[in-house]
Amino acid sequence: MGFQEGILLGIVQGLTEFLPVSSSGHLVLVQSFIEGFQQPGVLFDVMLHFGTLLAIVFFLRRDIYDILRALLPRKWYQKRGYEYDESFIHTRRKIALFIIVGTVCTGAVGFMFKDHIHGFFERVEVVALMLLVTGGLLFLSDRVKNTPRGEKDLNIYDGIIIGIVQAAALMPGLSRSGSTIAFGIFRKLDGETAARFSFLLSVPAVMGATVLELGYISEVSPGDMAIYVAGTIAAMITGFLTLKLLFFIIKKRRLSIFALYCWFLGITILIIKFVL
């Protein structure tokens, strides 16, 4: 794999990580067309995800800052003369708790099925089937009309359910953003709240996956590592721009557009795999 392929995969990751079409599924497909593509474990894929994680952190920097600051004791605010808004602090602390709960659920399920998931990254038919599932979730989420719950209405069941769904989205082809946002909407969260919680929940999950895969870094040559870094930077820049687009689309409730794309791509892959 050369620099051009590394940057191309980074752009693919940046575009598809946040748009609900499965970045892992698209990476598997594009990598299958790169002759001789190899990576230790899924280290390159994880580094691309780390690039889009940096995009999330920058895009939601205010939310993350507010959550971290809300964890500080009241005395910290008093010493610095800051206003202590109990309602605001309480809501941010609840979000922090639900992120922890969701992360524990994601980590537990992901750890149990880690070895099986690695094998799925080599099977394009699994990608195709999961793309069909993603399309179904997106289509159904657009049919939910009554979504009155905002961030103040988040509860521990949201954290558990969305955390488990995030773990299931380790399957290539099942969009992490698409499935978690869809289940948030099924839980009657408004689209923007579901999306923000989904991406906040992804931060510790991607960081954990990055740490787990770092064990393979010794198998990467210095020349290949430069390619990995170039792909990570490309994913970060493209991902930030894509996040802006996604939140615009969510406000318009047009996720069915991506459902049609997932169905088309999934069916096309199955036809190529088993018919042609």
Q: How confident is the model at residue 45 (pLDDT cuts 50, 70, 90)?
A: confident
Owning domain of residue 13: 3-73+85-274
Instruction: With H, G, I as helix, E, B as strand and everything else as coil, classify residue 76.
Output: helix
pLDDT of residue 118: 61
The domain tally of the chain equals 1
- Tokens 């993350």 found at: 64
Q: Which residues contact 218 (CB under 8 A, 6 or more apart)?
A: none
CA distance linking residue 138 with residue 134, whole number of Å: 6
Residue 80 lies in a domain: no
Q: Which long-range contacts (CB under 8 A, 24 or more apart) does 208-216 make?
A: 208/103, 208/107, 209/46, 209/49, 209/110, 210/46, 210/47, 210/49, 210/50, 210/53, 212/46, 212/114, 213/41, 213/42, 213/43, 213/46, 214/43, 215/41, 216/40, 216/41, 216/43
pLDDT of residue 221: 75
Q: What is the mean pLDDT of residues 34-48?
A: 74
Residue 79 lies in a domain: no
Using the predicted structure, report yes or no on whether residue 246 has a pLDDT greater than 80: yes
Q: How confident is the model at residue 188 (pLDDT cuts 50, 70, 90)?
A: very high
Residues 65-105: pLDDT tens digits?
999 988 888 887 777 777 777 888 889 999 999 999 999 98
Q: How confident is the model at residue 55 (pLDDT cuts 50, 70, 90)?
A: very high
